């Protein structure tokens, strides 16, 4: 079953990323909902995949554009104005490190909060990279810089429920993504960006 699942997943990813790049509007990949084990294909331009193997992500990453792996921080203790990750959050950060183990990263970025830095740190350590601090409230000029600096490479960006969608919308130059629910920590987005307005976004799930 796992082998057949990987074949199905590979076929879906090839379909998704061989379609022409969109300009403004989201692409419609399929109007049919398919459920096979942990693979869920939804209508509109989103594919939900439970990430259980590094094969999934290495198949997605492309070297012809800049690939951004964008996600919200993991679960927190909720204590204080700058909370640390909870035990569940630390476990999720470790899971992120695991699924990115075979994905070559050029840089890791996190907002200047404990929860984002702690989510990014295990992956950065595994890649011998520094967690770079960025301002999630001033992302537009950053996108231009990232697209210039990391052309053809892959970048990990940790943000928040209200800044991750904003970054994705900047890639698309279209207001496609609303704020993430405060209760959800398992969303991960793979954005393949040629330039602003020419991007594809794949929506996946990871962890428990």
Across-strand partners of 25? none
Whether the full predicted model's pTM is greater than 0.85, yes or no, is no
pLDDT at 56: 52
Summary count for the chain: helices (H), strands (E): 6, 9
65 part of a folded domain: yes
pLDDT at 61: 55
pLDDT at 207: 87
DSSP-derived secondary structure letter, 181? P
CA 208/CA 125 separation, integer angstroms: 22
**DSSP per residue over 53-110, as a string?**
SHHHHHHH--SSSEEEEEEE---B---SSSPPB-HHHHHHHHHHHHHTTTS--SEEEE
pLDDT at 175: 93
167 part of a folded domain: yes
pLDDT at 126: 97
103 part of a folded domain: yes
75 part of a folded domain: yes
pLDDT at 208: 76
Domain around 168:
54-200
Helices 140-149, 164-172: crossing angle, 10 deg rounding: 60
pLDDT at 57: 56
158 part of a folded domain: yes
Q: Kindly report the CATH number assigned to the domain that includes residue 187.
A: 3.40.50.1240
pLDDT at 37: 34
12 part of a folded domain: no
119 part of a folded domain: yes
In 10 A of CB 148, how many CB atoms? 9
Number of separate domains in the chain? 1
Residue positions counted in the chain: 208
pLDDT at 93: 97
Instruction: For the chain of 208 residues, list the mean pLDDT of each consecutive stretch of 10.
Output: 39 41 38 33 37 52 79 97 98 95 95 98 98 96 94 96 96 94 94 90 88
pLDDT at 156: 98
Q: Which long-range contacts (CB under 8 A, 24 or more apart) does 126-134 make?
A: 126/97, 126/100, 126/101, 129/105, 132/107, 132/108, 133/109, 134/109, 134/110
172 part of a folded domain: yes
């Amino acid at each position: 079953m796992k082998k057949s699942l990987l074949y199905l997943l590979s076929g879906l990813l090839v379909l998704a990323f061989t379609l022409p790049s969109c300009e403004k509007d989201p692409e419609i990949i399929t109007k049919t909902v398919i459920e096979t084990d942990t693979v869920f294909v939804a209508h509109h331009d989103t594919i939900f995949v439970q990430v259980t193997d590094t094969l999934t992500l290495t198949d997605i990453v492309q070297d012809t554009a800049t690939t951004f792996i964008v996600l919200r921080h993991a679960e927190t203790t909720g204590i204080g104005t700058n909370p640390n990750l909870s035990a569940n959050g630390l476990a999720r950060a470790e899971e992120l490190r695991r699924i990115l183990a075979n994905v070559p990263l050029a840089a890791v970025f996190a907002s200047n909060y404990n929860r984002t830095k702690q989510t990014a740190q295990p992956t950065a350590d595994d890649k011998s990279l520094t967690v770079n601090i960025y301002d999630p409230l001033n992302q537009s000029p950053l996108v231009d810089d990232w697209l210039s600096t990391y052309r053809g490479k892959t970048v990990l960006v940790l943000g928040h429920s209200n800044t991750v969608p904003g970054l994705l919308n900047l890639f698309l130059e279209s207001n496609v993504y609303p704020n993430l629910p405060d209760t959800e920590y398992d969303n991960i987005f793979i954005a393949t960006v040629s330039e602003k307005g020419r991007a594809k976004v794949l929506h996946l799930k990871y962890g428990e």
